[in-house]
Structure 1
Amino acid sequence: MPHIGKRVRKAREGIDRIKLYPVTEAVKLVRDRATTKFDETVEIAMNLGVDPKHADQMVRGVVNLPNGTGRNLRVAVFARGAKADEATAAGADIVGAEDLVASVQGGTIAFDRCIATPDMMPLVGRLGKVLGPRGLMPNPKVGTVTMDITGAVKASKGGAVEFRVEKAGIVQGSVGKASFPQEKLIENIVAFVDAVAKAKPQGAKGTYIQRVAISSTMGPGVKVDPATLTI
């Protein structure tokens, strides 16, 4: 049986691992237990009634969190000419074309979000094996392949969070920092759940949102009553 440290045992105290908590109570439990020296990230995990092996049950999208993520995301943009200038003016951290492709192929990935203009995709496509597994490949479905470079960069910097269902039917994402006021975290959580709900695929049968839990980086998970997560 694995050893459970004193800090973990203390964090779990007062949490019923079976109970579904109202979101207000769940957020308070998570924030109260985020006691490390750094500002812990609050994560959400949703179990969905889908089988992503089937194309008509894939869940993917992006949500603009109303209160941001609390992270300073580094954004890279693949663009040329006027669009490259637009990206720089919008606040992109890295802008390039062939030179940026070569840099990534050489193992340098100094960014957290990647955007590209449509004309750059034949070039960016060469990086699929590098960027794809990291969830960084630009995709028009989540607004990262676009001619609206200013809008995409500002959305990424301002709190846009991509989500994609994993093999086990789970969607995960960051919804803020433990230091956020409780009401701000709740707004972000509700927005995330709403975006996933709206991304329900046609092939989904039965109960779509089955379980929801939130936790901080080093804290225990707290189950949330989905009925308290509607807008």
Structure 2
Amino acid sequence: MEGYQKVSIRQWAVEDRPREKLLHKGISSLSDAELLAILIGSGSQKESAVDLSRKILRDVNNNLNELGKMSIESMCKKYHGIGQAKAITIVAALELGRRRQLSSPLQKPQIRASEDVFSLMHPLLADLPHEEFWVLLLNQANKVMQKLNISKGGISGTVIDVRLIMEKALYQHASAIILCHNHPSGNRNPSKADINITKKLIEAGKILDISVLDHVIIAENCYFSFADEGMLQQS
């Protein structure tokens, strides 16, 4: 078409570009065409990746199941700007989506008592020759969303950054956290440093509305729980 000039995605406002939009507004803000455009990366000389993606989706009545039935060969033949590599990327992404639907969601362990923390973390920490400090990020149902190794130290201690812990908890939208570390010496009792860091994290959590539910110290086949000993209020 004479006078036609493609507007490259790079010329769009930053907040409207698919990749940037995903980062700043979240993946749910993207249309199917924009998600497809991220996969193919670029369009043709006359079409941006988003325009080409819209064309592909129109041809399948905007039905991703129908798109999943298209072969690599037919995509390459039908659409200028779709080569074998791009077609393979589309097919692979749709197959991953199909397999995801067939997969069962992972069961997140729920923390009901200090024994649950011990059972979860003992295999990771009991036999280590050095100290490691971990944080469990919990949702509102006290289910573990993530286990984070915050630091590794020597035989007698490790350095803890309160800001780093709270930053990670906020990023994961955790409702509560549980602190956990090991004592390679076999002594399960908390040190002054253990008590102080617990106090600092409790105070930081109050400001950010993130509860510190417990601090469990693992030593060989035994453990110490701040919650069980009533020390969270004293910390």
Same fold (TM over 0.5): no
Instruction: Please report the TM-score for the alignment, with normalisation by the length of structure 2.
Output: 0.27
Structure with bigger gyration radius: 2
Instruction: Give the number of the structure whose residues are more often helix, by fraction.
Output: 2
Instruction: Give the number of the structure whose residues are more often strand, by fraction.
Output: 1
Structure with more relative contact order (C-alpha pairs < 8 Å, separation 6 or more): 1
